[in-house]
Amino acid sequence: LSICFTFAALAEEKSHHWNYDEINNWGNKPGFATCKIGNEQSPVNIITTSVKKTELAPINTQYASADAEMINNGHTVQLNLADGGFAKFKDKQYKLVQFHFHTPSEEKINGKNYPLGAHLVHKDESGNLGVIAILIKEGMENSVLKNVFANLPAFGAKPVSGYNINVSDFLPASLTYYRFTGSITTPPCIEGVIWNVLKEPIELSKSQIESFLVIFNINARSTQPLNHRVI
């Protein structure tokens, strides 16, 4: 059932137009009701003083160098990976399938966004999703992502191939994280996603961040109520 639901939901996402200008109306569109009535929606605002302190298993990432295709789908710049390795969440293996960017970061820490955020999207054998969110601050030039941000495609441009990237190379030194259950942050807003927000940000230079802002002024969903959830 989870396989059918996930694939059907992703098919609905492709069949109905949406954009960030009408973000408050997503839930009123056919197939997108979960965006409005869901109880475990993402992103969220993480209040560090309210986080439940517990011993979580470290994130086990076993990423590999992989060929990547970069696309602009009108909502973000996304890099699809042929075989990027995997990560383990809750002792279950999730294959890394793509990563993409949002400005500002969709996740907030104590009410504040970062100028950019990256989502590493993983999928298990049943189609269930797990995401690692990386916060990005302004700082030194990121050499690993240099070719990506120097060649960001405009919407409607042909996919850019020829990239080979190992996601491990731009992860922060520490993989300590906040964990909660949530949803994908775009329509159809399907829930049941394992979210892992890394505490330590990575850096991009001002010019690298600005190169993304030229294409997307904003492509981030507002934070959603936690409801019964505990981070």
The catalytic residue positions are 75
Distance from C-alpha of 196 to C-alpha of 181, rounded to nearest angstrom = 9
Report residue 118 CA to chain centroid gap. Answer: 5
Within a 10 A sphere around the Cβ of 113, how many other Cβ atoms? Answer: 19
Pairing of strands 45-46, 108-109: parallel
By the 8 A CB rule, do 164 and 98 touch? no
Task: Report which secondary-structure segment, H or E, holds 80.
Answer: strand 77-81
Give the span between the Cα atoms of 75 and 98, in whole angstroms: 14
Q: ∠ CA 201-203-209 to the nearest 5 degrees?
A: 115
* 3-class DSSP state of 193: strand
Q: How far apart are CA 62 and CA 168, in angstroms?
A: 8
Q: Assess whether the previous peptide bond of 30 is cis (omega < 30° from 0).
A: no
